Structure 1
Amino acid sequence: MGAELSRIAEQAEAARRAQADHEEAEQARAAREAAEAQAREEREHAERLAQEVEEERRRQRVAEEAAERATIVAQQEQERRQRAREEENRRLHAEREAAQEARQAQTPTPEEYSAFREVIQHTEGFFHVALSGIAGSGKSSLVNSFCGKHNMDLGAAAVGANKTNFAVARYPDPHPSSRFVWYDVPGAGTLKVPDWNYFNDQGLFVFDCIIVVVNNSFTATDVAILSNARRFGIPAFIVRSKADQHIRNLMKDIGYNSDDEGGNKASYFARARDQYVAETARSIRTNLQEAKLPDQPVYLVSNIGLQAAVTGRASEKMLDEVKLLTDLGGAARRYAL
């Protein structure tokens, strides 16, 4: 009986150990499977990360390639535009040169020269001065001022709406000792007086001196006159007219109010005058450089100031009127030598 109990106990112990071994084996297997699953999950995660990294690199390469292509295209477009600009500049330069060449006055024949001298009644011992330029620049009023006249005086050159002549008008200086003869040349830029052949059509080559009257801007016609005067060896003066009007406009621009009795008019005038002088000189210098003409002074005058200078009266608002008369006198003396 005791032996039987002992055998049963041993069998129970063996069964328990077998169960424990089985459970341990199952736990080990579960642990292995869990480890394998974790390892597999980690591998898959790593693979996904690698794929994402590779995809990001691919997208970056695509973006870089696109950016590079865009840069190349932009550079090519910039180069194309630069070439187009250069070609346009060459074309414009060629057109300007062709236009400038077209504006060059042809050398007159002896018959043409004599005919125009007869038209202007060219007289030996006198200094014949043509006031030329575009229509509306103020030539007629300056002719009257050179003669010491007002626009409404008897025998004065017609101005503005009253002007109907389209031929050169002759005005001998009324001062008995003066050897100057002034000519009001029709303004260029109208249907009656085209600007493309102004110098030849108006016979400017027969004058002893040419005054180019400019107003608000320096035009191609003005350049053509100066260029042709230089070719023919005729002294030419650049005169900007209506200085008093331009200065008054600048005074308003910088704040002057004529209704303000307390305003410092003299101070505003001085500021506007200095600005007007500087801007005009800079503009004319730039235009002469672009036209490949040598630098020369520009005389800033007003009709009132010039008339005062001609008649020997003083004016605080004069600019270059006296200098202009002095330099014209010097040109006349050199002509007489």
Structure 2
Amino acid sequence: MEFDNALRDAEEARLAVERKWFEGVRPECRPSDQDISRMKARYHYNPEFFHIAVVGSAGAGKSSFINAVRGLSKQHPMAASTGIVETTDTVTRYPDPSPISQMIWYDVPGAGTPKVSDWQYFNDMGLYIFDCIIVLTDNRVLESDLTILRACEQFKNIKSFIVRSKSDQYINNMVCERMPPGFDIGDPDMDDETRSLFLQTKSEERHWFINETCQNVRMHLERENLPPKKVYIVCSDAMLAIVNKSRSSKAIDEAELLNDVKGSCGSVRGRGVESKSSLLDCQSDPRLAVERKWFEGVRPECRPSDQDISRMKARYHYSPEFFHIAVVGSAGAGKSSFINAVRGLSNKHPMAAPTGIVETTQTVTSYPDPSPNSRVIWYDVPGTGTPKVPEWQYFNDMGLYVFDCIIVLTDNRVLDSDLAILRACEQFNNIESLIVRSKSDQHINNMVCERMPPGFDLGDPGMDDETRSLFLQTKSEERHRFIDETCQNVRMHLGRENPSPKKVYIVCMDAMRAIVIKSRSTKAIDEAEFLNDVKGFMLTRLEAGC
């Protein structure tokens, strides 16, 4: 009897762990004294210095940020590497160039890439040994960002800061959305009237961006029961200028961030790792096999039942007479703007999908094509990785298995969540899947700005002829480099993860919208080919009667 009871208790414990595993509940695992000593040795921790880790999602601009706070351009021989792919593969140490500085900066690989899953990111990276952690975000507040902040709260000695990077790029992008059709921020022949409208719009969007960003961060912290924190809104150009005792018209919170980090330096430096809770035993009794998978981040496979498929088809009003396309990807990739563009609409059109700084898509929303002859229905799917939409079981929870075509939209690096969706598509013979790299115009302009001389402003209305000529030449070179590196990056990740080879379509919203409405755009790359291929898939599917 006693043996039977023990077996029953063991099975109940195993099932309880397995239930949490399927629900995506994360276990909490505290570092041991041996873990702390090992990580301090790995990162050459010295109590005489202030050790700052810069963390966040892949592509948030961590390497560029570290260069800027150290007063270095990305071309400097001591600069951290930057690029389209995730250039930081391991935690890398960067002492401050100033001989009197006691700060050491650490560039931490981005969370959410195939190489660095966000599962146990804080512990696997050994972030618990740092004096200060800067959580860098360049778009929406993600679940991985909040996970890091929650973990920081468990350690009394860690100061944490929230920094919104690339503010200049985002403000320019918002301005471009409000400007008349055909506006190009890099146009060297901008007339006085357009220039005046641009400067006025930029002033308005700058104020709106600051307010919306602060409200968004405050909302997420409150929802997660985290203590209030200021969000520092910065851009690398302004940070670099201020560190080098210069001025920048792009500056917002750069000087305040530098002062606050410096002020934190003396308050926590040299303390031991003080945990607020005890270590969770990860290796125990009959739960061991399931717990090991849990802690290693192995995802359980869950196939939809016939009832699941029928329920999701009813929810999304699936009809075999139409071609149903789901646009998916990480939060902030531009899914809503993309759906507006492929339907020939601006973001301000009354029939447009809502867009914004926060995740505006809360549920899967259908958008029929405005053309009465079209048989395509577009679906805007909430982004992965936000607090409301965790990555765990995203494919199944969103019912993506009922769609005819899934477009995986990425605006930066290829993330683990993107590859998970592509792997899931491979399990369903009836789903066409496409990879689309969005916001190509914005990224090319950003690459150009990084190569231009210090102080260059893309929206400068008084650009001289020499600067204009250099800008146009640089833009042509960076456009070709961006296309080549993007294709190589996708090919590399697909080869590593073994989904079928795929073309990546490189697009921007302005060019997509122009082509849909039978116009032309100098920004166009793969927009026309993408539209033709989608049309081909649709005709094949509808003719087959699937």
When normalised by structure 2's length, the TM-score is 0.43
Distance between the aligned counterparts of 2:473 and 2:352, measured in 1? 35
Match of 1:250 in 2: 447
Deviation at 1:169, TM superposition (A): 0.5
Q: Which amino acid aligns with 1:271?
A: E
Mapped contact 2:318–2:324 kept (Cα < 8 A): yes
Q: Deviations over 1:24-82 (max 9, x none)?
A: xxxxxxxxxxxxxxxxxxxxxxxxxxxxxxxxxxxxxxxxxxxxxxxxxxxxxxxxxxx
When normalised by structure 1's length, the TM-score is 0.68
Match of 2:334 in 1: 138
Distance between the aligned counterparts of 1:174 and 1:272, measured in 2? 35
Match of 1:71 in 2: none
Mapped contact 2:426–2:499 kept (Cα < 8 A): no
1:261 pairs with one of 465, 468, 471:
465
**SS in structure 2 of the partner of residue 210 of structure 1:** strand
Q: CA RMSD of the aligned region, Å? A: 2.1
Quick one: structure 1 residues 287 and 162, their matched pair in 2 at CA, closer, same or farther if it must change by over 3 Å? closer
Structure 1 unpaired stretches of 5+: 1-91
Q: Which amino acid aligns with 1:269?
A: K
Distance between the aligned counterparts of 2:479 and 2:473, measured in 1? 10
Distance between the aligned counterparts of 1:141 and 1:125, measured in 2? 26
Matched, 1:183 2:379: yes
Structure 2 unpaired stretches of 5+: 1-123, 125-291
Quick one: structure 1 residues 309 and 99, their matched pair in 2 at CA, closer, same or farther if it must change by over 3 Å? farther
**SS in structure 1 of the partner of residue 485 of structure 2:** helix
Distance between the aligned counterparts of 2:435 and 2:472, measured in 1? 28
Q: Which amino acid aligns with 1:209?
A: C
Q: Deviations over 1:11-33 (max 9, x none)?
A: xxxxxxxxxxxxxxxxxxxxxxx
**SS in structure 1 of the partner of residue 465 of structure 2:** coil
Q: Which amino acid aligns with 1:169?
A: T
Q: Deviations over 1:294-315 (max 9, x none)?
A: 2211011101011011111111
Distance between the aligned counterparts of 1:243 and 1:100, measured in 2? 34
- Counterparts of residues 195-206 of structure 1 (less than 5 Å): 195-206=391-402
Match of 1:226 in 2: 422
Deviation at 1:99, TM superposition (A): 4.5
Deviation at 1:162, TM superposition (A): 6.4
Matched, 1:315 2:511: no
Distance between the aligned counterparts of 1:110 and 1:326, measured in 2? 33
Of 265-274 and 229-238, more deviation after overlay is shown by: 265-274
Match of 1:167 in 2: 363
Distance between the aligned counterparts of 1:154 and 1:206, measured in 2? 28
Deviation at 1:229, TM superposition (A): 0.6
Whichever of the two has the greater Rg, that structure is 1
Mapped contact 1:147–1:310 kept (Cα < 8 A): yes
Mapped contact 2:330–2:384 kept (Cα < 8 A): yes
Matched, 1:111 2:307: yes
Q: Which amino acid aligns with 2:495?
A: Q
Match of 1:43 in 2: none
Quick one: structure 1 residues 179 and 295, their matched pair in 2 at CA, closer, same or farther if it must change by over 3 Å? same
**SS in structure 1 of the partner of residue 309 of structure 2:** helix
Match of 1:237 in 2: 434
- Counterparts of residues 1-337 of structure 1 (less than 5 Å): 99=297, 101-102=299-300, 104=301, 106-161=302-357, 163-233=359-429, 234-255=431-452, 257=456, 258=458, 259-262=463-466, 263-264=468-469, 265-336=471-542, 337=544
Length, aligned pairs only? 243
Q: Which amino acid aligns with 1:313?
A: S
**SS in structure 2 of the partner of residue 274 of structure 1:** helix
Deviation at 1:164, TM superposition (A): 4.0
Quick one: structure 1 residues 112 and 164, their matched pair in 2 at CA, closer, same or farther if it must change by over 3 Å? same
Deviation at 1:290, TM superposition (A): 1.6
Of 251-260 and 281-290, more deviation after overlay is shown by: 251-260
Deviation at 1:268, TM superposition (A): 2.3
Q: Report % sequence identity.
A: 36
Q: Deviations over 1:108-149 (max 9, x none)?
A: 111111111111111221110000011011101001101111
Q: Deviations over 1:73-98 (max 9, x none)?
A: xxxxxxxxxxxxxxxxxxx9x979x7
Deviation at 1:100, TM superposition (A): 6.0
Quick one: structure 1 residues 253 and 125, their matched pair in 2 at CA, closer, same or farther if it must change by over 3 Å? same
Distance between the aligned counterparts of 1:133 and 1:99, measured in 2? 20
